[in-house]
Amino acid sequence: MKEYNIAVVGATGAVGNEMVATLEQRKFPVKHLKLLASSRSIGKTITFKGKEVEVEELKEDSFKGIDIGLFSPGGSVSLKFAPIAAASGCVVIDNTSAFRMDPDVPLVVPEVNEHAIADYKKKGIIANPNCSTIQMVVVLKPLHDAAKIKRVVVSTYQAVSGTGKKAIYELEQQILAIYGQKPIVKKVYPHQIAFNCLPHIDSFLENGYTKEEMKMVNETRKIMEDQSIQVTATTVRVPVFCGHSESVNIEFEKALTPEAARKILKKARGVKVVDNPSKNLYPLAINAAGKDDTFVGRIRRDESVAHGLNMWIVADNIRKGAALNAVQIAEALIKKYL
């Protein structure tokens, strides 16, 4: 099997760490692994296949001889370095929002629109969607193929790991402070996150929605390749360390029973149905952590409309919502397109 030179940009972050782990776990054919981050990370090491790999400073000449770059830095870093990497012959799979809505950059969830990877040649960049969008469209696509979706109303309950390592630490410290009767320190979020819910992810826009909410609207339509689907979202940060949960209401053009939906989803790639309320079985964030699948349950009829279903969708936001999806794209890329 041919092996490839891989670079992970933003390697010391939560997603970067998971990208390295996922490459090893899935036995991706890595010839040489280069770990890149800011100058602050020089000297740090990350274990890959039993060996310590030293982190290097990200520079303009970092991509010489690199075949695939998995990017998970800040968006401004991707805006600068992704085109540089692509110009050097490296195919970039970018986890930031920098290129997602660029019409010349494919936005890919392999279970949904793997064929779109073929368009990577336009700019040498493939965009990894937003974590909350990824897990939703994995479930929506097979249902859309069966009964055509008219409208989606989604409310998310998103873990602090979606903000990064500093947010995980902030939640830990706030919990300890509360039990120790010490002052609460807020640096990452504008309000206390411990034992609280914040209906505020990313910045607010003029229309009253946040950027995170509009990502779900616009990315869903692009990935599903259907601009007629109406989507509205409310995204909420909750005091959970890992795993995004979503309450999703779907209105279809024709009837689709809960039983039929379960049957379809049980056959869907990357989906696991956990749906037996009589035994208290439904998707939970703590059970999704570390898992590749997207879990769906609480599938039931929406009795307020003619053709509607409600459901509960959960996935590991760092794994399927970021690192795994990027590696899956890379796997399809080397198998069919590179």
Judge if 4-129+322-337 and 132-317 fold alike in CATH terms: no
Question: How far is residue 296's CA from residue 328's CA, in Å, rounded to a whole number?
Answer: 21
Number of C-beta neighbours around residue 61 at 10 A: 7
Whether the per-residue pLDDT at 74 is higher than 90: the answer is: no
pLDDT digit string (tens) for 102-138? 999 999 999 999 999 999 999 999 999 999 999 999 9
Q: Region 191-201: what's the mean pLDDT?
A: 98
* 259-264 contacts at long range (C-beta below 8 A, 24 or more positions apart): 260/146, 261/143, 261/299, 261/309, 261/311, 262/299, 264/142, 264/143, 264/146
Whether the per-residue pLDDT at 1 is higher than 90: the answer is: no
Alpha carbon distances (Å) from 214 to 22, 125, 221, 267: 29, 22, 11, 30
Class of domain 4-129+322-337: alpha beta
Confidence label for 21 from pLDDT (cuts 50, 70 and 90): very high
pLDDT digit string (tens) for 133-158? 999 999 999 999 999 999 999 999 99
Q: Region 49-66: what's the mean pLDDT?
A: 97
According to CATH, the topology of domain 132-317 is: Dihydrodipicolinate Reductase; domain 2 (3.30.360)
The pLDDT mean for the chain works out to 97
pLDDT digit string (tens) for 274-286? 999 999 999 999 9
Question: How far is residue 111's CA from residue 163's CA, in Å, rounded to a whole number?
Answer: 25
Q: Region 239-252: what's the mean pLDDT?
A: 98
Q: Could you tell me the residue ranges of all domains in the chain? A: 4-129+322-337, 132-317
Name the residues annotated as catalytic.
Answer: 131, 244
Predicted structure pTM score: 0.96
The per-residue pLDDT for 119 is 97
Whether the per-residue pLDDT at 75 is higher than 80: the answer is: no
